[in-house]
Structure 1
Amino acid sequence: MARVAHAHQEHEGEDLVEAARHTLTDSGEQWTGMRQSVFEELARHEKPASAYDIADNLSQSRGKRVAPNSVYRILDLFVRTNLAKRIESANAYLVNTHPGCRHDCIFLICDDCGKALHIDDDRVTGALRTAGSDAGFSDVRPVVELRGLCEECAN
């Protein structure tokens, strides 16, 4: 089955931070120093990171304790404003490299190394939204996670 892709621009480095800042401020939120630090720390991770991972790393780099609860609040804000995606089964987060694009992700998670990537398939997630609506639910948000072995771990 072919995937239905979106036309969106992937960002990295300073361009990603700037795109995130614009997305957050356009949503009516403030881009604070702490929010920037959390975003930059999350962006450094190639694999999903927990709030505790981020808090520990920020505590070390700042030389003072950063509370995981504060990081959780910021990560929740990032998910609401499309700056990050939450891997539900791992209670961990990935930076969204195209923060201006809204869509439902299908996550592929490696059971061996923990790597996660996402694909976009609007037919699958659209069908899930329709099924939820047909069952009388509103504000349906598909959460699709597929677990297995990535190509590197399978070989």
Structure 2
Amino acid sequence: MARHDHHQHGGADLKAAARDRLTTRGEQWTGMREAVFDALAGFDRPASAYDIAEAVSKSQGRRVAANSVYRILDLFVGSNLARRVESANAYVANNHPACLHDCIFLICDHCGQAKHIDNDSIANEVREAAAKSGFAPTRPVIEVRGTCEDCR
């Protein structure tokens, strides 16, 4: 399996890495963006914008609209702070936001857990196959559905 090394962040270190990545890109780390990131990072499986809006609403004691959360999540995905699990219309925090690469998700059909793995050779083969077909890929989406080790 081809791979590259990167630092896996967690907890306060993950939030600091996300904040640094966002501000380096010229964006502001606002209180609402921090609250959305905290909520996203607090989930142990992919979370929808509605799940995140509910968590932020509870933590702030006021209703936060899912539309606001979607805009922030779009910014996070574009800035590599979060990854979108396409088949679930859900998001996960990227625990190495400074590292740009294509992701492969292994998604359990039983518990909903999504494991992120890196395999640059597979992603590059997908990109090359698309290019050979005259297609200019911008972001390959590779998701494998099945049963995780815990549910087997």
> Which letter maps to 1:44?
G
Listed one character per residue, the Cα deviations across residues 113-140 of structure 1 (whole Å, up to 9, x for unaligned) are: 0000111111110011112222222243
Aligned to 1:116: 114
> Normalization by structure 2: what TM-score?
0.97
Moved more, 128-137 or 35-44: 128-137
The question of whether the paired residues in 2 share the 8 Å contact of 1:132 and 1:140 is answered with no
What 5-or-longer segments of structure 1 have no aligned partner? none
Q: What is the aligned length?
A: 152
Residues of 1 paired with 2:111 and 2:10: CA distance? 23
Please, which moves more after superposition, 131-140 or 102-111?
A: 131-140
User: Which TM-score applies when normalising by structure 1?
Assistant: 0.95
> CA–CA distance in 1 between the matches of 2:55 and 2:138?
34
1:39-118 map, 5 Å: 39-118=37-116
Task: Give secondary structure in 2 for the equivalent of 1:142.
Answer: coil
Compute the displacement of 1:74 (Å): 0.4
- The residue that corresponds to 1:131 in the other structure is 129
Q: Report the RMSD for the aligned CA atoms in angstroms.
A: 0.9
Cα distance in 2 for residues equivalent to 1:86 and 1:67? 19
CA distance in 2, matches of 1:140, 1:51: 24
Aligned residues of 1:38 and 1:74 also touching (Cα < 8 A): yes
